[in-house]
């Protein structure tokens, strides 16, 4: 893509023709066309009446009937065209048509000048030429035509009446001057309209505070790029956002904040000359179309350069500030045909990511990235509501095995979502989104209800001591406040408030060290819900904290279990966790046990329970019940200690 293909954004380029289209279309030309159409129609009517003998027009008697008929037909035709032009409302057509009609009108007027009249002393041809020049070209051209015609007339017809009657000469002169003045006035009007329009267009496309382009102008420039390059190839947009601008405004006042914005704009304008287009599109939001880039790496480099320039200390009102930015960069030229809006939106997404991650100031998205993922995200977030009612959700149960006896004494309820279009969506993907949009409450309650009914059934038919673990999101916890969670009523109705239900909470819940949070957890425990700390070791909590919160079970994260081997680091870690937990009166579940070796090592460390693919994958309620039933039948018929449950599946 060549830079020359792209118009400069600093000032809107508006041609005179464009301005006529903008300003005069509705005003002057529209009215003139309508007027000409009416006059032409009247002429046509008069001539028709004349031809029919109903009316006698002066000056037409001598003309041949053929000419009169032609004139009438032409006028009717022009009347029709005038109406059509008005109808289509095309400014260019209106303009040309008006010029043409003014010429015709001049001719018509001349036709009606009686032969003896003073004006007739100046030949019709000269009038026609001058009027034509005035109507179609300019005032100066009309003067040139008049002077040349006058000179020719003086040379060729020195006896013409105009040269011999001072009155005739004066009248002709005044008429000519009148034509020139009218045209000059029209030009002056057009010029002022041009200027005012240019001003309007400029202010409409400029940010009034910083003088940078505004969003409208930015979109125009981007569209120019789109036209000049294929699918925005070589085009990269950076979105820049000042860190903590709100706090800055509060602390220093809006006047200083404005000064800072103006200074930032100045730097942006000067950082890459005319090859960089900068715009202010929000309070502290800037967008920059980077100079043509060869790819993502170069775009990042350019954006980094700009950020470095912007991060330099600046002195405003005698004070030195250092302003930092977050930036999101989107690079065009991908396989997907993108609009200017979509490209800017991608830069917005990159900026949001930069804000979320916090560590990196700059995030850039390659051409194809995130379009699909954001669309998927959008689809998912839209589909949460009613997913349970539509039967798209289900709960699967993963066995938790007593390591010493090999018995399945517990299970963890895990949600599954089978989306009609997107297929199976993993909870790791949709749970964080459901937490964000607040759908976790509906989903969490639904899972708890399903799990409660299933647990009650298992306890009634197979194992009265069976325990069910239910994952409870920190978002649900926070929303509960001092209220009892809604699902407690279901547990109570199903007689499960005797430790049958375990809430799996994450370390984030324990980070809230406030009294209210502690009370909430304590209340749950005393009401008969056990508490289990999920993914232990991945967060920040220490075992001492667990004691404060009276946690019943600690679940060692599967990352530690995965790496466990005789006498290695993970082995030592697991040993430490288990012995400390035991000394604090807690039980331990090892997550993600996939091999017999892992199981044996954990057993050697006196871990209480284990969960993982080695013992069984998450199963549907029916399959899980069948497994439990067969295990119960097995242990009744044989009294084998510590059998590997997998071999019995």
Nearer to ligand C2E, 132 or 615 (CB): 615
Query: From the list ligand C2E, Ca ion, none, which binds 449 (C-beta under 5 to 8 Å, kind-based)?
Result: none
| CA–CA gap between residue 350 and residue 325 (Å, rounded) | 13
**By CB neighbour count within 10 A (0-12 exposed, 13-18 middle, 19+ buried), where does 590 fall?**
buried
Q: Does 534 bind Ca ion (CB under 5 A)?
A: yes
Indicate the residue among 428 and 482 with the shorter CB distance to ligand C2E: 428
Angle at which helices 340-357 and 371-383 pack, to 10 degrees? Answer: 80
* Catalytic annotation, pick one of 300, 412, 570, 591: 591
**Nearest-angstrom CA–CA distance, 613 and 525:** 30
Q: Which of 484, 385, 496 is nearest to 439 (CA)?
A: 385
Token duo for residue 379: 């689809």
Task: Choose, by CB under 6 A, the member of 363, 431, 458, 586 that binds ligand C2E.
Answer: 431
Binding mask 440-479 for ligand C2E (x = CB under 6 A): ----x--x-----------------------x-x------
Least gap, CB of 472 to ligand C2E (angstroms): 6
Q: Does the footprint of ligand C2E cover residue 618 (CB under 6 A)?
A: yes
- According to CB under 6 A, which residues from 165 to 184 bind ligand C2E? none
Beta strands in 161-294 (DSSP E): 236-242, 277-280, 285-289
Contact status, residue 302 vs residue 290, Cβ threshold 8 Å: yes
Distance of CA 636 to the CA centre of its chain: 64
φ, ψ (nearest 5 deg) of residue 614: -60, -35
**Tokens found for residue 116:** 């003896």
Query: 577-596: which residues touch Ca ion (CB under 5 A)?
Result: 591
> What token pair was written down for 389?
């009612």
Pick from 407, 612, 627, 645 the residue near ligand C2E by CB under 6 A: 612
Size of interface with ligand C2E, in residues (CB under 6 A): 21
Nearer to ligand C2E, 367 or 616 (CB): 616
Among this protein's residues, is 18 annotated catalytic?
A: no
Name the residue nearer to ligand C2E (CB basis): 112 or 613: 613
The number of beta carbons lying within 10 Å of the beta carbon of residue 452 is 25
How many CB atoms are located within 10 Å of the residue 592 CB?
18
Piece of the chain touching ligand C2E by CB under 6 A; list 186-194, 324-332, 486-494, 607-615: 607-615
**440 phi and psi angles, rounded to 5 deg:** -60, -30
From candidates 106, 172, 408, 415, binder to ligand C2E by CB under 6 A: 415
CA atoms of 568 and 208, how far apart (whole Å): 66
> Is 570 a residue that touches Ca ion (CB under 5 A)?
no
- Which residues inside 354-413 make contact with ligand C2E, applying CB under 6 A? 398
Neighbours of 196 (CB within 10 A): 12
Interface with Ca ion (CB under 5 A), residue from 504, 507, 570, 608: 504
Write the binding mask 542 to 561 for ligand C2E: x where contact by CB under 6 A, - elsewhere.
Answer: ----------------x---
* Residue numbers at the binding site for Ca ion (CB under 5 A): 471, 504, 534-535, 591
Q: Catalytic residue numbers?
A: 591
Q: Which residues bind ligand C2E (CB under 6 A)?
A: 398, 414-415, 426-428, 431, 444, 447, 471, 473, 504, 534-535, 558, 592, 594, 611-613, 618
């Amino acid at each position: 893509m060549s830079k020359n293909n792209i118009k400069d954004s600093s000032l809107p380029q508006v041609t005179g023709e464009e301005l006529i289209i903008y300003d005069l279309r509705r005003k002057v030309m529209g009215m003139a066309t309508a007027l000409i159409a009416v006059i032409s129609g009247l002429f046509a009517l008069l001539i028709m009446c004349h031809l029919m003998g109903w009316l006698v027009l002066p000056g037409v008697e001598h003309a041949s009937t053929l000419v009169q008929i032609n004139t009438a037909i032409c006028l009717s035709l022009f009347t029709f065209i005038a109406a059509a032009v008005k109808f289509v409302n095309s400014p260019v057509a209106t303009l040309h048509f008006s010029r043409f009609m003014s010429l015709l009108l001049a001719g018509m007027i001349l036709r009606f000048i009686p032969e003896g009249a003073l004006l007739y002393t100046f030949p019709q041809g000269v009038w026609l030429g001058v009027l034509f020049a005035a109507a179609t070209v300019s005032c100066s051209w009309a003067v040139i035509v008049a002077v040349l015609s006058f000179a020719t007339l003086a040379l060729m017809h020195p006896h013409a009446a105009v040269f011999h009657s001072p009155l005739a000469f004066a009248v002709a002169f005044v008429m000519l001057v009148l034509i020139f003045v009218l045209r000059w006035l029209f030009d002056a009007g057009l010029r002022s309209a041009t200027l005012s329009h240019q001003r309007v267009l400029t202010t409409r496309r400029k940010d009034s505070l910083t003088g940078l382009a505004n969003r409208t102008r930015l979109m125009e420039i981007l569209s120019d790029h789109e036209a000049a390059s294929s699918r925005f190839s070589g085009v990269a947009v950076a979105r820049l956002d000042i860190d903590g601008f709100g706090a800055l405004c509060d602390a220093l006042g809006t006047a200083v904040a404005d000064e800072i914005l103006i200074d930032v704009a100045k730097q942006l304008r000067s950082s890459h000359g005319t090859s960089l287009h900068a715009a202010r599109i929000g309070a502290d939001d800037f967008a920059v179309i980077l100079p043509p880039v060869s790819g993502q790496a170069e775009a990042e480099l350019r954006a980094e350069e700009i950020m470095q320039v912007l991060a330099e200390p600046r002195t405003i009102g005698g004070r030195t500030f250092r302003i930092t930015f977050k930036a999101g960069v989107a690079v065009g030229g991908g396989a997907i045909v993108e609009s200017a809006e979509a490209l800017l939106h991608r830069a917005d997404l990159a900026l949001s990511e930069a804000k979320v991650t916090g560590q990196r100031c700059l995030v850039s998205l390659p051409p194809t990235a995130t379009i699909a993922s954001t669309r998927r995200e959008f689809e998912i977030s839209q589909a949460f509501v009613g997913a349970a009612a539509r039967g798209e959700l289900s709960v699967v149960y993963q066995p938790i095995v007593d390591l010493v006896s090999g018995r399945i004494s517990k299970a963890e309820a895990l949600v599954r979502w089978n989306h009609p279009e997107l297929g199976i969506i993993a909870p790791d993907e949709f749970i964080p989104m459901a937490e964000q949009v607040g759908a976790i409450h509906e989903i969490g309650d639904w899972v708890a209800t399903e799990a409660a009914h299933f647990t009650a059934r298992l306890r009634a038919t197979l194992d009265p001591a069976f325990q069910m673990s239910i994952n409870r999101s920190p978002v649900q916890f926070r929303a509960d406040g001092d209220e009892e969670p809604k699902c407690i009523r279901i547990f109570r109705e199903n007689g499960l408030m005797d430790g049958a239900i375990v809430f799996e909470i994450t370390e984030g819940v324990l980070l809230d060290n406030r009294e209210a949070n502690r009370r909430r957890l304590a209340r749950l425990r005393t009401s008969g819900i056990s508490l289990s700390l999920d993914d232990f070791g991945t967060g920040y909590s220490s075992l001492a904290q667990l004691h404060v919160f009276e946690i019943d079970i600690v679940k060692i994260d599967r990352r530690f279990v995965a790496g466990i081997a005789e006498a290695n680091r993970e082995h030592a870690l697991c040993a430490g966790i288990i012995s400390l937990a035991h000394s604090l009166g807690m039980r331990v579940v090892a997550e993600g046990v996939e091999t017999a070796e892992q199981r044996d090592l954990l057993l050697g460390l006196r871990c209480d329970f284990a969960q993982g693919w080695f013992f069984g994958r998450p199963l549907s309620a029916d399959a899980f019940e069948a497994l439990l039933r067969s295990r119960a039948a097995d242990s009744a018929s044989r009294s084998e200690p510590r059998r590997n449950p997998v071999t019995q599946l």
